[in-house]
Structure 1
Amino acid sequence: MAEATDGDGWELEPGDEEGAAVMALIGRQLRAWREAVGLKASELGAALGYGEGIVYKVEGGARIPRPEYLDKADDVLKAGGRIKSLKEDAAKLRYPKKVRDIAEVEAKSVELTAYSDHYLHGLLQTAEYAQALISMWRPVLPREQIERGVAARVARQSIFERDPAPNLSFIQEEVTLRRPIGGKMVLRRQLEHLLELGKLQQVEIQVMPTDSEDHAGMSGEMEVLKFMDGTALGRGVRLFGGRPVSDPKQLRVIELRCGIIRAQAHPPGESLAFIEQVLGEL
């Protein structure tokens, strides 16, 4: 994941060529606007409240500018909102390429089926649950890296607001509802959030009971996404090297397992009742 070097911006993770190209484009535009009004880098830096070195790094594509940097630059350079319009592209670069790729694929999907065994699926997590979860990673991550991870996870949840809405099906292992990640109050609010999501017409949440004797998901978490053009993408953490697959034969294996898991789990209505029961036990 990308590391922050100071409070003036962020750097990309190594090897993120796509992000580097976007950063270079943003930097060239900022430099062109600065030169168009006849300002030196030192003068723009003074006007923005940043050092000259930061201006050169941003314009050289070596630093991802913060939103407030772009807001101030738009005002100082009288860009009429054109620099501010770069904030969305710059903000996306805060997240690692892997996360951006996941979000892009999810945003294009019309159907998603996911089975999770150790913790709640990222699309279902509250911000405080996600923060507690990411904070548990070892070695311990820097605070800003944790915040960026949480922000990326929450940003993906705009999928619930899409119109037309995609069909979203989540099968959660029972233990994911009981493990008090972040403490009991965090878990309580997380379970309440699940109940709200479960009321959405396009969302189905199912619980896989721990006492089930037959379980098709013993190979770990897996997911299938389907798209408008009829294509699909699947991934199983212990299937096909854990990499995303689109080959029909490989997809069939993941789809078959997901289908069996759905049949073995509690139906959606019973699952919501089960979540309410777990919530009542806290």
Structure 2
Amino acid sequence: MSNGPTKRAADWAETTGFARLDAEAFPDFLPGWVWLVGAGPGAPGLMSLLCYHAMQQCDVVVYDALVNPDILRWVKVGAELEYAGKRGGKPSPTQRDITLRLIELAQAGKRVLRLKGGDPFMFGRGGEECQNLAGAGVPFRIVPGITAGVGGLAYAGMPATHRDTNHSVIFLTGHDASGKMPANVNWPAVAKASPVIVMYMAVKHLGEIAAALIAGGRKADDPVTIVSNASMPHQQVASTTLEQAGAFVAAQEPPTPAIVVVGHASDWRSVLDWYAPALRENPIG
């Protein structure tokens, strides 16, 4: 065993900052592969090193509506950008169209970066896309991302779990494939299963969801917190109660995308609300 520094350690000593990453052995992004990558909840600084690496190696980026456009400026020069955003109530490509396009690009020998907001497997249909890629014989890699239901809460001063508040948390979606309130959710069970419920894409149906939770035994005065544009400089946080949630949304029209939190995770905001206006001046996060 050598007692001196390795060559790589010596190289590190001569560089600073992100330049130290240049010699790292990142995985190859080969032609014909699709990488499904989570870009995080919005702030560019919350993306992973593998996400940045993929953006530097790809030939084409197929990106979602929830990907912060500021992230796309870091894609390598010459790579194609294809928008494949799906937003409720607006003209959008079908999931089938998106999947077929991924397969088409990969089979043409492209390095395809499928870039999604948050985490690709957290209500992002990443699992469905991978199933179809596997069925078509297209190799793929999954790069997880920070999901808004955890990272977004952190930017709003709310821990997803805290031993003095909740030892469990439920994540659920506020609408199904048809855009309606999910019909196959056991709302009485959800109402009682965890002290904290974190809901994605739930603003539109929040009144109905709140009524279902109350009917299932949830307290009407349980706090409800709506975090809009989480981790972004224009992040907004609004508070109401389960009983008043529907009327609050109708009157205030909180911006979307938003995460809805039911329960006392919001109790910690008075102490942990760290994302002050002065910090928001930095767009990286």
TM-score by length of structure 2 reads 0.28
Instruction: Identify which of structures 1 and 2 has the higher relative contact order when contacts are C-alpha pairs closer than 8 Å and 6+ apart.
Output: 2
Q: Kindly name which structure, 1 or 2, has the bigger radius of gyration based on alpha carbons.
A: 1
